[in-house]
Structure 1
Amino acid sequence: MTARNGGDSTAIDIAATPDRVYDLISDITRMGEWSPECIHCEWSNGADGPAVGARFKARNKGKRGPAWFNKPEVIVADRGREFAFNRSGPGIGSYTWRYRLEPTDNGTTVTESYETVRPLPKAMNWITEKWTGSPDRDADLRYGMKTTLERLQKAAEATS
C-alpha cells in the first residue's frame, strides 16, 4: 500500500441496525463479498471470530500480477460500534483499517478508514505499483472503500 496522505475515510448510511452491520463487516470470511481487492479471508491461529488479538489470513488481488497474502490482527472488536484490524510486517509497512458505526434514526452511518501507521518502505513503492497494476494507490484504496461500503449496504439492507 502506498499511502502518501497518511490515510483516508469514507462513509455511507445503511438502513440496518449497528449490530447487524457489525455482524456483517466483522465476519471476515465474507470480506471477499464486499471488497474489490480482498478476495478471500479466513480466521487463523485458532481464531474463529472477531476478538481483540484474533488473526486472519487475507488474500488480495490487484488489477494485474499475482495475489498476495497478509495476516492482519484484530485490534478493536466492539459489537455495534467498531471493528478494526492492523496489517503490518517487514517490508510492507503498517496500516490500520477501521469501521466505525454510528446509530441514526434510519439505521447506521458506517465510516471506513485506513491509517498509515508505518509507511511502505520507498523501495517497495515500485514493486507495489507493478504488483497492483496501478500508479495511484491512494485512488485505488478510496475506490475500494466506497465499493466495500456500497456492497455492505446492499447486503445489510436486503436482510434487514
Structure 2
Amino acid sequence: MDKDYGVTGAHTEVELLVDLTVDELWPAITDLSRYGDWSPECTHAAWLDGWTEPAVGARYEARNRFPNGLVTQVLCVVTAAQPPYSFGWDVYGGAPETHEPFATWRYDLRPAVRPEQTVVRQSFTHGPGDSGARAAVRADPANAAAILQGRLDQLRRNMKLTIGAMICDAARGRPELE
C-alpha cells in the first residue's frame, strides 16, 4: 500500500469580496465554456451527455495544462448545484463508477453586507484518487510536505486569477456598462 504523505484531504481555499451581486456572478461561475479563457490551468471544459447547466450528477470533461507541460483530460461530476449559491464537482481520472476522485472543487457565493457585493469562496480538497500531486510526492517522499504545499499555493494563486477574470467579464455584461 502506498503511503499517502498527507495528500488525501489536503485543502486550500480563497475567499474574496467582489463588486457584483450573487445573481450577476452565478452565470460566470457556471459558464464552463469560458473556463479555458479564465483559468491559468484549465484549458477547456464542456458539458457531456446533453447537460447545459449544473445539476447534481451532471458530467463534464475538462482539460488542464500544467507548468511542467503535462496535459490531462479529466471527467467531472457535479456534487453541488444550488443556484445561485453553490456549485461543486468531483474530478476523476477514469470512470466515477470505478475510480476514486482526484479532488473536490466548490464555489460558494453569499451576499455581502453591501447589496451590490458578493463574498465568493472557492475551495479545493485533494481526494483519495491517484492524482498528479500524489505521484509527485511518491516520487520524492523526502520533500513531500514542500511539494504538496507548493501545489496548494499554486492552486490558491490560480483561484484568485480565475475569479478575477470571471469578475471582469461579468462586470462587462452589466447593463450600466454597455
SS in 1 for 2:102: strand
Aligned to 1:70: 74
In structure 1, stretches of 5+ residues that fail to align are 130-134
SS in 1 for 2:54: coil
Paired amino acid for 1:124 = A
Q: Does 1:125 align with 2:133?
A: no
Q: Does 1:116 align with 2:116?
A: no
Q: Answer whether contact 2:92 2:129 (CA < 8 A) is retained.
A: no
Structure number with greater CO (CA < 8 Å, separation at least 6) is 1
Partners of 1:125 and 1:12 in 2: how far apart? 30
Partners of 1:7 and 1:51 in 2: how far apart? 24
What do the CA deviations read for 1:88-124 (whole angstroms, capped 9, x no partner)?
3468853110000010213211111011232646862
In the alignment, which of 23, 30, 51 is matched to residue 47 of structure 1? 51
What do the CA deviations read for 1:107-156 (whole angstroms, capped 9, x no partner)?
21111101123264686226999xxxxx5322211111111111122122
Q: Answer whether contact 2:56 2:79 (CA < 8 A) is retained.
A: yes
Aligned to 2:104: 96
Q: Answer whether contact 1:14 1:156 (CA < 8 A) is retained.
A: no
Paired amino acid for 1:116 = H
Give the superposition deviation at 1:3.
7.5
The 5 A counterparts of 1:1-160 are 4=7, 6-89=10-93, 93-104=101-112, 105=114, 106-118=116-128, 120=130, 124-125=135-136, 135=147, 136-160=150-174
Q: Answer whether contact 1:97 1:115 (CA < 8 A) is retained.
A: yes
Q: Answer whether contact 1:87 1:94 (CA < 8 A) is retained.
A: yes
Structure 1 segments of 4+ aligned residues over 3 angstroms from their partners: 2-5, 89-93, 119-123, 126-129
Q: Which is strand-richer, 1 or 2? A: 1
Partners of 1:23 and 1:139 in 2: how far apart? 27
> Cα 1:46–1:3, aligned 2, differ >3 Å: closer, same or farther?
farther
Paired amino acid for 1:102 = R
Residues matched between the structures, number: 154
Q: Answer whether contact 1:15 1:156 (CA < 8 A) is retained.
A: no
Partners of 1:123 and 1:115 in 2: how far apart? 13
Aligned to 1:132: none
Per the normalisation by structure 1, the TM-score is 0.83
State the structure with more CA Rg: 2
Per the normalisation by structure 2, the TM-score is 0.75
